[in-house]
Structure 1
Amino acid sequence: MTKKELLLQTFKSKFDLSQYKKFIVEFFNDAKLLNGEKRNDYWNWNEYSFYINGYFHVADYLDDKRNKIAIFAVELKKGKSLEKARSKQRNFIADRIKVMGYDGAIAAFYSEDEKENRWRLSFVCLDYELLKGKIKINFTPAKRYSYLLGVDEPCHTAMQQLYPILEEEKFNPSIDKLEEAFSVEKVTKQFFEKYKEKYIELYEYLSGNETFVDEATRCVRSDKEEDISKFTEQFAKKLMGQIVFMYFLQKKGWLGVNAFPPKISEREYKNSFFNCNNEHKEIMKKLYLLDTDGNYVRQGGAISALSEEQQTYFASRIKGMPWETGPKNFVRILFNEAIKNTRNYFEYYLEPLFYEALNEKRGADNYYARLHCRIPFLNGGLFEPLDGYDWKNNNFSIPNEIFSNASIKGDREADGILDIFDRYNFTMNEDEPLEKEVAVDPEMLGKIFENMLDVKDRKSKGAFYTPREIVHYMCQESLINYIVNTVGTPYEETKDFILYGEIMKDEDCSREVKQGIADMLMPESIYKNLKAIDDALADVRVADPAVGSGAFPMGMVNEIVKARENITAYFARELTSNAQKHQLWNYTRHPYMLKKDAMKNSIFAVDIEPSAVDITKLRLWLSLVVEFDINSDNDEFKNPPTLPNLECNILCGNSLIDEFEGVKLFNDSLLTGASSNSNWMADLFQNQVDSTLTKLIDKQKELFYANNHDDKYRLKHEIDVLQQQVIFASCTMTDDIKERFISTFAMPSKPYILWKLAFAKVFKDKGGFDIVIGNPPYVGESGNKEIFRPIAKTGFGKRFYLGKMDLLYFFFHKGIDLTSDKGEIALITTNYFITATGAKKLRADFKARTQIRKFINFDEYKIFESALGQHNAITFLTKDRTKPIEMKSCFCNETGIFESGRLSKILEWTDKDSIYSVVPQDKIYDGENDYIRFNSQSLDSSAIQKMQQCKIKLKDLFLVNQGVVTGCDTFTKRHLDKMPLTDDVIINDGIYVLDFDNPRDVEIYNNFTLGKSLCRDFYKNSDIQRYQSSKKATKKIIYFEDALDSSKYPDVFAHLSRFKQLLESRLETYNEHYHWTAIHRSRVAQIFEGPKVVLPYRAKTNAFAYNEVEWFCRSDAYVVTPKQKDFSLKALLGILNSTLYLYWLKKQGKVKGEILELMREPIEQIPLPMVDGETLQIIESYVDDIIVKKENQESTASQEKALDDIVYSLFSLTTEEISLVEEAVK
C-alpha cells in the first residue's frame, strides 16, 4: 500500500484505531507508540464525563525544537455528536496536555455509534498569550484546528495539506509545521480562486447568450450595456450563492428527504391506509406490499408512476423519513439524474428547485412532487427570481458542462462548479477564535463573498476581505463601550466578559463552583448586572452604512448572541427545576431565537450595490440555518425554519443622500414632534404623521415574519405607500419630480436612503443608533467627481463637502449624524485624514461633536493584500462631549502583509514593537487646521515646543504655489469615456504638455510658428533632488493665462481643437465656466521664471531645491518665492533641508506611511526662527558650497552637518534634545 493509499484509506473510512496507528507511525517518523489501554479514569476528568467515554494515549512525539506532542484517540459517548460541545472536546485535550506536561496534541475524536461514520482529526495547542489577569491565572485556553473525515466526507483539503508531510521519508514535522498543515487560510485562498474562476466562466456564458440578454433587457427595462452587465453580474453571483447555500443545506440533511420510506411497519401502513379514500386505498395496496417479516415494503418505480397530485396526496398521509436524513450529496444526485434523463440540469432541476420548491409554501409535509422528495420552504427571498426573471416562460438554459465536466475531463481533472465544490468539506460550524475547522464554513464563505464584490471580469483581483481579527475586535470593542455607557459597568471587567465570557461560563457553571469549592471567574460587577447587560444586548441598535459582504453585521450578531448565550448559563445556574432550565435553553433563549431576535431588532445596514445586499442577507440566513437543529420534541424545531424577510433591515441605495432632485425628502422633526409651530393644525398634522409612522413600523414587523408570497407583496406595497405618504406630507415637489420619485421605489438600488424614515422605530425609540460600524469605500475625489457631485449638492454635502476629500469622510460625518447621544462609531479606513487638507471639516466635526476613544494606526503594516499601497487605521469615536475621556492610541511599527498572530497582539495592546500612548482630548488637535496628533510624545517633545514658540511662519515671508494644473496634460486611456480615438488623436498625444521623447509631439512643436513662443520648459517632481533640480527640460508646456487668443496663435488653436470635446468635458468635471481652451489652473508666470525654491509634493525626506532658470512645473511640485526681495531663498533652503526641519515635518507635517506630503498647508505653517544678518550670510555660504559640490557629485556631509548645528543653535536645543531628534529621523 502506498502512502497516498494509506492516507486515503484512513481518511475515507469510519474511525479504526489500528488504521489510525498506522497513519501516526508514517506521519511522525520518530513517534513512539504506546501500548496503553483505553483510559476510563473519569474521576480525573469528571466535568467531561457526560461527553467522553474514554481515551487512548496512542503515542508520543518530540519535534526538532524539543516540543512534546501527545497523540490521542478520544471516544465520545454514544448520542453525543461530533458537532456538539466542541469547547468540551477541546478543553478535555487541553487539560490532558497541561496535566501531562505536553506542548500540543494530535487527537482523533470518534464515536462507536454505528450510525456515526465520521470522525474528527484535530491539532490542539495551548494559547498562553490570549488571556491576562485572573482569567489567565485560572485558565489557559487551547486552540483546536480540525479536519472532518470519514465515509462520504470529502478529504481533498486534508490530503492536499497533510500528504506532503507524509511523503517526506526523513521529515519530522515541527509544532509550527503542524499548525501550518492545519491552516484554514490556504483553503480560503484556494477556494476563492476556484470560486472566482467559476463565476467568471458563468458570467461570460450569460453575457454571450442572446436569450439571457433578451431576458435581462426585459428585467431591467433598459437596453443599456451597463445595466444589462450589472444584472448579469448580479444573476451570476446570486446563482453561485444559491448553489453554495445548497451545499450547506444538504450538509444538514434537509434536501431530498424521502417522503416514502422503503419500509414501514404494519401499524404505520394501516394508519396511512385507513386515512385514504377508497380510490387511494386501491393505489396504496400497490405502493406497499407485505413482506415476510411483517413490514410493508415500497415497490420500485411505484412512486414515479403516480401523478403529481397523487404523490402529494400520499405524502400527506404516509409518515415520511425525518428531516436531517436527506442525502449529503443531493446537489450531485440531481445532476446525475439530469444526465441520466438527458435533461438540462439548470432548466429542469435547479430552476424548479430554487424558484418553486425552496421558494413556495406547500403543505405541512413540504413534499415536492416534481423531484419526488421533501424540500423545505425557506422563505426569506434568497430563492426569489431576480428582478422578475421569468424562469418558467423563457427558453434560456446553462450547459451541463459548466456545472460538471467529469464525463469529459475525468474525475481528477474535472473543474465544473459541482466538481470543485464536491472536493471541499462544507461545515455548519462557524469559525471561532479557539475553534477552527479546516473546511468551507459560513465565515469563510463570507470572506469569499467579500472578495467577490469587486470581481466583474478576468482582470478583477477582488477586494480582499477585512481580516476576521479586525472584525471581531471592532465589534467587541464597540459592544464593550456600549455596555459601559448603558449599564455603567467598569470597562476592563466588561471587556473580560465580552472576550472571555465563554471561558467564565464553562468554569463558573461547573459543579465545583456551584458547590462553593472554587471561586467564580465572573467579576462581581458583571454578575450583579447580568440582567441589565442582557437587556442592553437585546436593545442595542447597530448600523453599517456601507455593508459590503455583511462582515460587521454578522460579527455583531455573533457577539450579541454569544454574550447572551453565556448569560443564559448563569440564569439557568440559579434555577432549581429541570423543567425551567429546559424551557430556558430550548425555547425562550434558544440560540436560534436569540440570533433571529438580534437580526430583527439590532441589525440595520445599507449598501449601494445590490450584490452586496444579496450577500449580506445570504450570510445572515445561513447563520440562522447553522443554529437550527431539528427536534421532534419541540414544536418550534420540528421542521426546517422559514427564514425571515430582511428587506426592512438591509436596504439598497445611496446611504449618503437623503434628497431627490434637490428636494429634502423627510423632515426629521416629524419623528419627535419638535415642530416650531404649536397650533391645533400643527398638532393635527403631527398626529396624522405619528399614526402613519406607527402603521409603517407595524407593517415592517409583519413583513419580517411573513411567509406567503401574496402577503409579502401586499406588505411591501403598503410599506411603500406609507413611506410616500410621510414624504409627501413633509415636502413639496412638482408633479413631474413626484412621478420620477415614485419610480425609484422599483429600482434595485435607490439614489437615496431615508435613514430616519426607513428605520423610524430606531429613531423614535432611541434617537439614533447605539453603534455605527463598518469599512466604508476609500474613493478620492480626483477622477471621481460624478460620485461626489450629487452628494455635495445636498444639505448634508453642503455641511461637509470640501475639495480634495475622500468619500470615506462623508461616512464618518453620516455615522456621527446617525448615532444617538453617547453612541459609538467604529470605522476602519485609510489614515490620511489626520492631516489631509481635504479632511479639515472632518477633523473639525470630530472635535465639535465627538471624542476619540481609540485610534490604531497600522501605517506600513498592510491589512489588505489587494491594496498594498494603502495605510490603514481603526478609529473609535463616542458621540459625547460631556465627560472628557483620554484617547488610547497605537502606532504600529511593523511592516509587510499582516499575519494573524501579530495582528492579534497589536489589537490586544501587547505588541512589543508598537507604540501605545494615552492622550487627553484637549491635546489631540493641533494648530488652526486641527491636525490630529495621536502620539503624545509628538506634542510633548521639547524640540517641537521650542520651534512652535516662533511667531513667524513661512507663509508670513514667502509665497507657496502649486505648479500648473492643465486638466489635460496628455491624452490617456482614462479619457476614452470622454472622447474616442480618431485618425488624428491617439493615446499619449500631448495636449498642453509636449514630450520631446514622443515623435508625434516633436512634430507638433516643430510645426508651430507663432505658437513656439508659448512653449515653456516644463518639469515634474522627479526632477527635484535635495538642493538641486534638473535644468534640462525634456518637455514643453503650452502656457498662457485665461483663454487662448486664436487670432494671434492659430497654430496652437488648431492643435487644441483636435481635443475640444475632451477639453470641454473639463468644465463639467470641475464645475467651471472658463473658456474651453484655458488652462485649468495656470498660476502666474513670474513664479516660474525667477529665483525660487522648488519641492516635490511627496518625498521620503526634506527635498528642497533652488534654481533661477525658467522652471514651469506640474501640479505634483510646489514653488516657493519671496514676498520681498530681501527675504533670502538660499537661507530658507538651508534651514528647510536641515535635520531639525525633517524632524518637524515628520512630527507636525503630513505623513503618508513613510512619505512626507510637502503640500501648501504644512509648508506654509513651518515656523521660522529669527536669524541675524551674519548668520544668514553663513547659511547662504554653506548652501552655495553644497549646490556646487552636488553639481560636481562631491560629498556635502560636512557642510550639511555644519548647517544642522547652526539650525539647532537657532532654537537653543540641548545635547539631549539633538540626540532625540537625530534618533527619530534615522
Structure 2
Amino acid sequence: MPSKQKMPSTVKDILNYDLTLADTVRAFTGAYYTPLSIAQTMIEDAVCFYLQNLGYKCADVDDFMAAKASALAAEILDLLSRAKLIDMASGTGVFGFAWLSTLDKLHRQYKLVSTDQYLQRAMRGIVLNDCNAASVEQFSALLKRQFGLDFKGTILSVDALCELAMQPAVKKVVDDGGFDIVIGNPPYIGERGHTDLFAPLKDDAKWSKYYMGKMDYSYFFVHQGLDFLSKNGVMTQIMTSYFMTADGAQKLRQDLQQRATWQGIRYYDKLDEFHAVKNLSFVIFSVTQKRDADVICRIQRNAKRFSASNRELYSAVGHIQLIPPADNELLSRIEQRARYKLTDLCHVNQGLVSGADRLKRKHCKMLNIPYEGERPIFVFKADECGEDEQLKPFLKNSDIGSYQLAKAPTQRILYSVADNLRNRPQWLEHLAPYRAILSRRREVKAGVRKWYELQWPRAESIFLAKKIVAPQRASRNCFAYVETPVYGSADIYFITLKHSLPYAEVDEAALLKALTMYLNSSVVYLWLNYKGKRKGAQFELYASPLRQIPVPAFSAQHVD
C-alpha cells in the first residue's frame, strides 16, 4: 500500500470545506467529509488491489505506482481509464477528483500523450451520488481549472439505499458485470434518534435481512457495495473501527466473511484529518469478491505493518482482529493456558439506571419552567443530603482506579425500588415535583415501574456483595476490588463470584483479590487491546468482552 501524496493547498482548500460545516448539521446527517489526503490514499489502495486482481504482480504494481514501470504504463493506464467507479455518498465529490488526479499524475509521470483523452474516458465511468448541493458547482469548477475539462460522468441525487441500484447509470454497469472500484465514506448514523431513517429499511425485503439492533446506517452501504462489485473489483471504504467487534455489526461481519476477501486494512487509533471527530478510531479497508481463505491481507495498524491470511482475521466469536504475528503467538499461549473464561467464574452486571439522576435544563424545558440550576432527583452530592438508610453510596466511573478505588464515593443515590419508600413519605414528597419527568420513562409508561422507582434498579445483591468494579471506558484495563456495599450507574460494571466455583477451598475475598490482580495485568491488557472492544484509544469494558477474558486456574497457593 503506497504512502500518502500531498496535493496543492489550493485544491485542499476547496475540497476540505467541511471545516465550516455546522456541527448540528454534521451530527444529523452523519457527514464527515473526507479530506483529500485520505481520499488520495484510498484511491491508491483501490488501484493497487484492482491491478493485482487483474493478474499483475504485487512488485510490478508497486513499481507502477512509483513511476518505475514504464514498460507496463500505457497498458495499465488504458485499463484504468476504462474502469467503472462509484461513490454512493459523495459529499464533496472528493473521491472523483482524487481518482482523476491520480490518473493525471501517472500520465504525466510517464510522459504519455493524449492525457485528456484518457481522463475524458475515465470521467464517463464515474458515478457520484448524493453530492452536497453546494459542491457540485465547486467540483465542476475545480475539474475545469485543474484539468481544463468539463465533467462527463454521472452525478445523482437519490436515496443511496432505496433508489440508487435502479438508476439506469448504475443498473447498466451492475448488469454488465459491476463496478471495478466502489469507494467512499458512508454516513455514520446510529438508529437512536434516527428511527425514521431505519424504518423503511427494516421493512424492505432487500435490507431487512441485514438489519439488527444497535447497528449503524453505514453498514448498509457495505452490503450494497458488495452487490455492486465486479469480479475483479475492489471496494475501499473508510469507517469507524467499531464494526470490527460491535454486537450490532454481527450481520455485517458475517456478510463480509461469506462474500468478500480482505486485501488491505489500515487501522488508526485516531486520524488528525478528521479534526471534528472525537474518541473514534478509523479503518480504511479494501475487499474484493470471495476468494480462498488463505489469501493474504496487507495490514497497517498505526505504525505497525504486517500481513495475515483472511482465515486469521476472524476470531472464534466472529470478530475481526488485527494482530501482529509476535503478539498473536503470545495471545495463543495465553488462551491455551487459560482454563476458564471470566464468565465461567463470575457474573458481569451493568450498573443501575435511574432515568433522571438530576434535574437538568432539558427537564425544565419539558415542564416549561425556568431553569435555576441542577437539583437532585435520585442522585445527591455530598452537601445536598444527610444520612439516611435509603441513600446509598454511589460511584462515579472516575472513582475507579487500578486494584482499588481511586477515591471513596461522595455521591448518594436514593435507591427506590418496589415499595421501599412506602413508609418514607419525605422521599415521596421529594420526588413529587418531578413526577411529570419520571412518568415519561419507558418502563413507567409500560406499567413495569411505579413513577417513583428507579428505571432499572438491578438486583441489589450485586451492589451489596464483595465485587470487582470496572468503568465502561478506560485508557487501559482498570479493575478495582470493593468489599463494602457501593452502588453505581450503567457506565460501571459489577463483577461478582458465582455460587458454584471450582475453588471450594479458596476464600471469596481472596479469590476476588487474585482476579483483580490478574485483570489489571499486562496479560489482560494485551488481550483487551486486540480482542476486546475499543472506541478510539479507549477500551470499552462492556459485558461481552469482559465475559470472554481468558482466566488461568488459580490454586490456593497462587491466591495466597
Q: Give the structure-2-normalised TM-score.
A: 0.83
Partner of 1:950 in structure 2?
A: 338
Quick one: structure 1 residues 1052 and 538, their matched pair in 2 at CA, closer, same or farther if it must change by over 3 Å?
A: farther
1:1167: Cα distance to partner? 1.7
1:955: Cα distance to partner? 0.5
Quick one: structure 1 residues 1107 and 434, their matched pair in 2 at CA, closer, same or farther if it must change by over 3 Å?
A: closer
Counterpart residue identity of residue 1138, structure 1: S
Partner of 1:1173 in structure 2?
A: 556
**CA deviation string 1:829-880 (max 9, x = no partner):** 3333333344333333322222221111222563323335333332222232
Distance in 2 separating the partners of 1:986 and 1:789: 39
C-alpha contact (below 8 Å) 2:46/2:236 kept by paired residues:
yes
Are residue 886 (structure 1) and residue 296 (structure 2) matched?
Answer: yes
C-alpha contact (below 8 Å) 1:862/1:871 kept by paired residues:
no
Are residue 628 (structure 1) and residue 16 (structure 2) matched?
Answer: no
Q: How many residues align?
A: 547
Distance in 2 separating the partners of 1:880 and 1:769: 15
Are residue 1118 (structure 1) and residue 496 (structure 2) matched?
Answer: no
Distance in 2 separating the partners of 1:598 and 1:970: 59
Partner of 1:447 in structure 2?
A: 16
Partner of 1:603 in structure 2?
A: 127
Are residue 544 (structure 1) and residue 87 (structure 2) matched?
Answer: yes
Distance in 2 separating the partners of 1:1057 and 1:1132: 44
Quick one: structure 1 residues 1174 and 565, their matched pair in 2 at CA, closer, same or farther if it must change by over 3 Å?
A: closer
C-alpha contact (below 8 Å) 1:548/1:616 kept by paired residues:
no
Are residue 993 (structure 1) and residue 379 (structure 2) matched?
Answer: yes
Partner of 2:268 in structure 1?
A: 858
Counterpart mapping for 1:981-1060 below 5 A = 981-983=368-370, 986-997=372-383, 999=384, 1002=385, 1014-1029=390-405, 1032-1041=408-417, 1058-1059=433-434
* SS, match of residue 490 in structure 2: coil
Are residue 836 (structure 1) and residue 212 (structure 2) matched?
Answer: no
C-alpha contact (below 8 Å) 1:1090/1:1109 kept by paired residues:
yes
Partner of 1:136 in structure 2?
A: none
C-alpha contact (below 8 Å) 1:859/1:871 kept by paired residues:
yes
Are residue 613 (structure 1) and residue 137 (structure 2) matched?
Answer: no
Distance in 2 separating the partners of 1:788 and 1:1039: 36
Distance in 1 separating the partners of 2:545 and 2:285: 23
Partner of 1:493 in structure 2?
A: 60
**CA deviation string 1:985-1012 (max 9, x = no partner):** 6553333323344x5xx4xx89xxxxx6
**CA deviation string 1:143-193 (max 9, x = no partner):** xxxxxxxxxxxxxxxxxxxxxxxxxxxxxxxxxxxxxxxxxxxxxxxxxxx
Distance in 2 separating the partners of 1:1106 and 1:480: 51
**CA deviation string 1:1001-1051 (max 9, x = no partner):** x4xx89xxxxx6654321121111222227844323233457x79977766
Gaps of 5+ in 2: none
Distance in 2 separating the partners of 1:834 and 1:828: 13
Distance in 1 separating the partners of 2:317 and 2:266: 24
**CA deviation string 1:323-348 (max 9, x = no partner):** xxxxxxxxxxxxxxxxxxxxxxxxxx
Counterpart mapping for 1:494-643 below 5 A = 494-500=61-67, 521-524=69-72, 529-530=75-76, 534=78, 536-560=79-103, 585=114, 591=116, 594-606=118-130, 612-624=132-144, 626-628=146-148
**CA deviation string 1:590-612 (max 9, x = no partner):** 62x654544443223226xxxx2
* SS, match of residue 1174 in structure 1: helix
1:886: Cα distance to partner? 0.5
Counterpart mapping for 1:1188-1199 below 5 A = none
Are residue 1107 (structure 1) and residue 517 (structure 2) matched?
Answer: no
Gaps of 5+ in 1: 1-129, 132-431, 505-520, 573-584, 630-640, 659-752, 893-913, 1007-1011, 1179-1226
1:559: Cα distance to partner? 2.9
Distance in 2 separating the partners of 1:916 and 1:850: 22
Quick one: structure 1 residues 619 and 994, their matched pair in 2 at CA, closer, same or farther if it must change by over 3 Å?
A: same
* SS, match of residue 40 in structure 2: helix
Counterpart mapping for 1:370-769 below 5 A = 436=8, 441-448=10-17, 450-454=18-22, 466-485=34-53, 487-500=54-67, 521-524=69-72, 529-530=75-76, 534=78, 536-560=79-103, 585=114, 591=116, 594-606=118-130, 612-624=132-144, 626-628=146-148, 649-653=155-159, 655-656=160-161, 658=162, 753-757=163-167, 759-766=170-177, 768-769=178-179
Partner of 1:1085 in structure 2?
A: 460
Distance in 2 separating the partners of 1:1142 and 1:992: 35
Distance in 2 separating the partners of 1:791 and 1:1054: 46
C-alpha contact (below 8 Å) 1:539/1:601 kept by paired residues:
yes
C-alpha contact (below 8 Å) 2:382/2:411 kept by paired residues:
yes
C-alpha contact (below 8 Å) 1:855/1:873 kept by paired residues:
yes
C-alpha contact (below 8 Å) 1:926/1:933 kept by paired residues:
no
* SS, match of residue 649 in structure 1: strand
Choose which of 930, 939, 942 in structure 1 pairs with 2:328: 939
C-alpha contact (below 8 Å) 2:359/2:376 kept by paired residues:
yes
Question: Which structure exhibits the higher relative contact order, with contacts defined as CA atoms closer than 8 Å and separated by 6 or more residues?
Answer: 2
Counterpart mapping for 1:105-144 below 5 A = none
**CA deviation string 1:1086-1129 (max 9, x = no partner):** 11112111111222333222223221101111101111175632
Percent identical among aligned pairs is 27
1:947: Cα distance to partner? 3.3
C-alpha contact (below 8 Å) 1:604/1:649 kept by paired residues:
yes
Quick one: structure 1 residues 496 and 816, their matched pair in 2 at CA, closer, same or farther if it must change by over 3 Å?
A: same
**CA deviation string 1:63-85 (max 9, x = no partner):** xxxxxxxxxxxxxxxxxxxxxxx
Quick one: structure 1 residues 455 and 1134, their matched pair in 2 at CA, closer, same or farther if it must change by over 3 Å?
A: closer
* SS, match of residue 887 in structure 1: strand
C-alpha contact (below 8 Å) 2:299/2:322 kept by paired residues:
no
Counterpart residue identity of residue 613, structure 1: A
Distance in 1 separating the partners of 2:352 and 2:256: 34
Structure 1 or 2: more helix by fraction = 1
Distance in 2 separating the partners of 1:1041 and 1:1117: 20
Partner of 1:418 in structure 2?
A: none
**CA deviation string 1:1172-1226 (max 9, x = no partner):** 33333x1xxxxxxxxxxxxxxxxxxxxxxxxxxxxxxxxxxxxxxxxxxxxxxxx
Distance in 2 separating the partners of 1:468 and 1:937: 34
Distance in 1 separating the partners of 2:447 and 2:316: 35
C-alpha contact (below 8 Å) 1:1046/1:1053 kept by paired residues:
yes
Partner of 2:308 in structure 1?
A: 919
Distance in 1 separating the partners of 2:352 and 2:156: 46
C-alpha contact (below 8 Å) 2:5/2:40 kept by paired residues:
no
C-alpha contact (below 8 Å) 1:858/1:891 kept by paired residues:
yes
Partner of 1:1163 in structure 2?
A: 546
Structure 1 or 2: more strand by fraction = 2
C-alpha contact (below 8 Å) 1:1067/1:1076 kept by paired residues:
no
* SS, match of residue 932 in structure 1: coil
Distance in 1 separating the partners of 2:454 and 2:206: 32
Counterpart residue identity of residue 990, structure 1: P
Counterpart residue identity of residue 651, structure 1: S
Quick one: structure 1 residues 931 and 873, their matched pair in 2 at CA, closer, same or farther if it must change by over 3 Å?
A: closer
Quick one: structure 1 residues 1024 and 1049, their matched pair in 2 at CA, closer, same or farther if it must change by over 3 Å?
A: same
